[in-house]
A and B are shown apart, each in its own frame.
Chain A
Amino acid sequence: MSPSRGDRWLAGALGLAAALAGGAIVLILAFLVIEAWPALRQVGLSRFLGDSGWLPAAGPDGNFNLVPMLAGTVAVTAGAMLLAVPAGVISAIFCRYYAPLGVSHIYRRLIEVLAGIPSVVYGFWGLVVLVPWITRFRPPGQSLLAGALILALMVLPTVALLAESALRSLPRSYFEGAAALGLGRFTTVRSLALPAAAPGIGAGCVLATARALGETMAVLMVCGNVVQVPTSFFDPIRTLTANIALEMAYATQFHRSALFVSGLALMGLVGLLISAVERLSPKPAYE
């Protein structure tokens, strides 16, 4: 059967939309590479990883070490995910299987609100409440720890909502089957629901990690932005995103190009994350 005219129109429109979306990504990448090219060519990749510091305003003779920013980004993201994944998954389980109906409804609304708070507001709150609190233990307060805590709070809703929706989409028949075998609630959750929902929960975690890697404003406000590889949770750090946001306003020529290399490095981290997930996630047995 040949497709009808309407079908062909629809296929054409969908194809165009897909091409636009795909094309935009390619264009952005190409743009990044073109802008980063002068710095990459004259300084070379090795100096971006091995220079003695970060003094890009001095032109090609400056210092271009991005390792502190890479380390800062990875550390703050890892710290945030270490907190947000367990908290998010546990709150999804609570919401889905333990909370009374009314409570779980209110709880879900709260988490949705949390997801909607603008990142600059998180930053304000971190600066006014979290940083002084950390200062009491160990100054300066603006630190890797503050960034990780704020980021954890910011990505918690993503983890919790996606985990909850993965759990909710499990078929009722699993739970009927579990109940009919006399499995208790805890066993059903731990040994059936969680493994069955793992792919969805994992996807939520990847999304949240990507968001944490790219978050700019809040981490810029609470992390201190000192260019150094952190050796403790209380050290100030500078992330790749903060690096760009802080310097872009006044960067010219060579400096500007070096900041685009920062952007490329960030894209590289996201790409690494996605290809690692691709590699590690088990292929479905069927369908």
Chain B
Amino acid sequence: MSASPRETLDSPQKLQDACISTEGLSVSYAKSYALRDLHLEIPRGSITALVGPSGCGKSSFLKTLNRLTDLITGCRVTGSVRLDGEDIYQSGFDVLSLRRRVGMIFQKPNPFPLSIRRNLTLPLEEHGTQDSAALAAKTEAALRDVGLWDEVKDRLDSSAMILSGGQQQRLCIARALALGPEVVLLDEPCSALDPLSSAVVEDLIASLRESYTVIIVTHNLSQARRIADQTALFWLENGAGTLIETAPTEQFFSQPQHRLTKEYVSGARG
């Protein structure tokens, strides 16, 4: 991992619009590469969809952005990831506050087996909100943001595990948003949900645009087309995931440049 800034590559102008940029990013597990030499810029305040077949490194890519890869033994990340121009892999970088700034939502909703309220107050307390009035206000605001307040306001102290799948996923989103992140990463957030809940969560994600920089992995191409500003295709080449094409979403679907993209959006492959 090189910690030295790459002046030549990061012109100041580029840094202004890119919230996240990766240079030569590679991820390897034990012996094999999951992702090789990825160059990608994520514009601020937009929604970026990552699509591609299973196993091409999309989840691994998301996990490099909040350094969740640190938890996986044998996982090595090389290259650089810059958040607001700052290399998040430089030594001494505050990983806990990075994860407050870059929230993550998983495929399977994973609320804590605690009360609905505690799911929100626990991370808030950890990141410095101690005053109980402030905690209550932030809890309510976050639940309102995800449209859950009216559904749960009378049972904040019951277990989060009794909520439906869609409600649990929205609670997880609320929990991440309550920390005031800049970036929200979503790894197939709707694929474990029924179609109705999925539509609710999708609307919620679309509403995050502009307030947050959103990166969403999805297998649902029409979902990508509906909500994303730009779309990126990942593919498995020579045993490792690579980025094939990135384009504004309309262009990605109507005038794909790469052969694989054409085949993928037409449903011929993937």
Taking Cβ atoms with an 8 Å cutoff, the residues of A that contact B are 171, 173-184, 187, 191-192, 195-196, 285-286
Q: Is the CB of A180 within 8 A of B103?
A: yes
Q: Does B66 contact A (CB under 8 A)?
A: yes
Of A174, A175, A183, A195, most B-chain CB atoms within 10 Å: A183
Interface SS of chain B: helix
Q: Could you say which of A192, A196, A285 contacts B162, with CB atoms under 8 Å apart?
A: A285
In the complex, the 7 A-B pairs of residues with the closest C-beta atoms, listed nearest first: A182-B99, A173-B110, A180-B104, A181-B123, A182-B96, A177-B110, A285-B159
Residues of A contacting B162 with CB < 8 Å? 285-286
Known A-B contacts: A183-B123, A184-B96, A191-B118. Give 7 more (CB < 8 A).
A174-B110, A176-B106, A180-B106, A180-B176, A181-B123, A181-B176, A182-B123
A196 to B118, CA, bound (A): 13
The reply to whether the CB of B179 lies closer than 8 angstroms to some CB of chain A is yes
A173 to B97, CA, bound (A): 20
State in angstroms the CA–CA spacing of A175 and B110 once bound together: 10
User: Which residues of B in the span 23-52 have a Cβ within 8 Å of any Cβ on A?
Assistant: none
A196 CA / B113 CA spacing, docked (Å): 6
Which residues on the B side are within 8 Å of A191 (C-beta)? 114, 118, 122
The answer to whether A177 touches B112 (Cβ under 8 A) is yes
Question: Which of B113, B114, B126, B161 touches A181 (beta carbons < 8 Å)?
Answer: B126
In-complex Cβ contact of A187 among B100, B118, B122, B172 (8 A): B122
Contact at A176–B123, with CB atoms within 8 Å? no
Contacts of B95 in A (CB 8 A): 182
Give B127-153 interface residues, CB cut-off 8 Å to A: 127
Report the Cα distance A20→B122, complex, angstroms. 49
CB <8 Å contact, A182 and B113: no
User: With A and B bound together, what is the CA distance between A187 and B99 in angstroms?
Assistant: 15
Q: Is the CB of B175 within 8 A of A195?
A: no
Nearest CB in chain A: distance from B257 CB, A: 34
- Residues from chain B with a CB closer than 8 A to the CB of A195 are 113-114
